[in-house]
Amino acid sequence: MLVLEKSGALRRLHFFNPVHLMKFVEVIQGEKTSEETAALLQVFATKLGKTTRAFKDSPLFLVNRVFTPGNLEAMRMFEAGVPAEDIEKAMTKFGMPMGPLALMDEVGLDICANVVHEMHSAVGERMAPGKLLDFIKANKCFGKKSGKGFYLYDKDGKRQGFNPELLAQVNQTPLKKKAEEIQDRIALAMVNEAALCMSEGVAADADDANLAMILGTGWAPFRGGPLRYADSLGSRTLLQKLELLYAATGNDNYKPAELIRELAASGKAFCR
């Protein structure tokens, strides 16, 4: 939803699918939008029964931006031969309401692909989509709504096991990884992106970013959101984990945000 002010400034309300079930709305603030407009939009969303938080305008806004690198890492591991069931089990054990592959099927893999391509255009090669998304698009494996995605679905939308079309596209030599490594690969990619958002002023408050991720994506609620989870690890441990992942993968999604380095040096935390 877009709102145009007299000044020509735009302000957005970002709803989440399915809209009637998801209780969170991002209020996106442009450089020239007024506080009056912000307040009116928050009141409007509240009257719809939604919880809101305001964030600075950024590619894909806050929630999708933070969630995308984690989804990409899940797809990259899947494509490299990490068994799909291992990825799913590791992340539900971590506290996610469902595995990342199942969640992408629920959202729609066509939508996920569009988000990845937009992020790729905005931030560069660290968000490169990979060949699997091309296959998904070409073969209309769009998830639950098309009857096939990472999983197959019956006419009632119930999962019927993993999709052999996609399984045929991955490394056929299984690549076994411990659950903790899978969890780090996915969760810490999101933690690092959340730290970048804090550095850029997309989120002014770490607790707001945490709430947005919990209500907007179901991010492991008992862990308090990605930045509260980062604090539970400790900034020095977080930095060490990211540096090890960056060295092992060469993936810039793990290149520690400068804010993380600063917190590690000072011993401070993201959250109050």
**What CATH number has the domain bearing residue 250?**
1.10.1040.50
Task: Report d(CA 111, CA 98) in Å as an integer.
Answer: 18
Kindly give the interhelix angle for 179-199 and 61-80, rounded to the nearest 10 degrees: 150
Q: Is residue 111 part of a domain?
A: yes
Check whether residue 36 and residue 121 sit in a common domain.
no
For residues 102 and 96, what is the distance between their CA atoms, to the nearest angstrom?
11
User: Do residue 66 and residue 151 come from a single domain?
Assistant: yes
User: Is 230 contained in some domain?
Assistant: yes
Residue 14, both tokens: 């970002």
At 11 the pLDDT is 54
Residue with tokens 């099927």: 105
Q: Which of 76, 86, 67, 166 is nearest to 129 (CA)?
A: 76
Give the per-residue pLDDT at 46: 85
β-bridge partners, 33: none
Q: Are residues 187 and 262 in the same domain?
A: yes
Which residue among 167, 187, 208 closes a domain?
A: 167
Instruction: Identify which of 202, 223, 196 has the alpha carbon closest to the alpha carbon of residue 211.
Output: 223
Residue 44 belongs to a domain: yes
| Same-domain status, 45 and 69 | no
* Residue 117 appears among annotated catalytic residues: no
The pLDDT of residue 72 is above 60: yes
* Last residue in a domain, options 18, 37, 57: 57
Q: How far apart are CA 141 and CA 82, in angstroms?
A: 20
Q: Are residues 53 and 66 in the same domain?
A: no
Give domain status of residue 258, yes or no. yes
The predicted model gives 56-67 an average pLDDT of 92
Q: What percent of the chain has pLDDT over 90?
A: 77
Q: Scanning the structure block, which residue is given the tokens 């999983």?
A: 151
1-22, pLDDT tens digit by residue?
Answer: 444 344 334 457 887 776 777 7
**Overall average pLDDT of the 117-123 stretch:** 94
Domain co-membership, 163 together with 67? yes
DSSP 158: -
Residue 67 and residue 97 in one domain = yes
The overall average pLDDT reported for the chain is 91
Q: What's the pLDDT score for residue 161?
A: 97
CATH code, domain carrying 74: 1.10.1040.10
Q: What is the SS3 string spanning 99-126?
A: CHHHHHHHHCHHHHHHHHHHHHHHHCHH
Please tell me which residue in 14, 20, 117, 120 is annotated as part of the active site.
Answer: 14
- Nearest to 26, CA basis, from 59, 51, 58: 51
Nearest CA to 240 among 179, 190, 188, 194?
188
For residue 61, what pLDDT is reported? 92
Q: What is the pLDDT of residue 229?
A: 98
Domain that holds residue 232: 179-266
Mean pLDDT of 51-79: 93
Query: In this prediction, what percent of the chain has a pLDDT beyond 70?
Result: 94
Give me the number of domains the chain comprises. Answer: 3
What is residue 37's three-state secondary structure? helix
In a domain, 155, yes or no: yes
Residue 173 included in any domain: no
| Within a domain: 272 | no
**Of 106, 138, 167, which marks where a domain is finished?**
167
Question: Is residue 255 packed enough to be buried (19+ CB in 10 Å), middle (13-18) or exposed (0-12)?
Answer: middle
Q: Is residue 174 situated within a structural domain?
A: no
pLDDT given for residue 4 in this prediction: 39
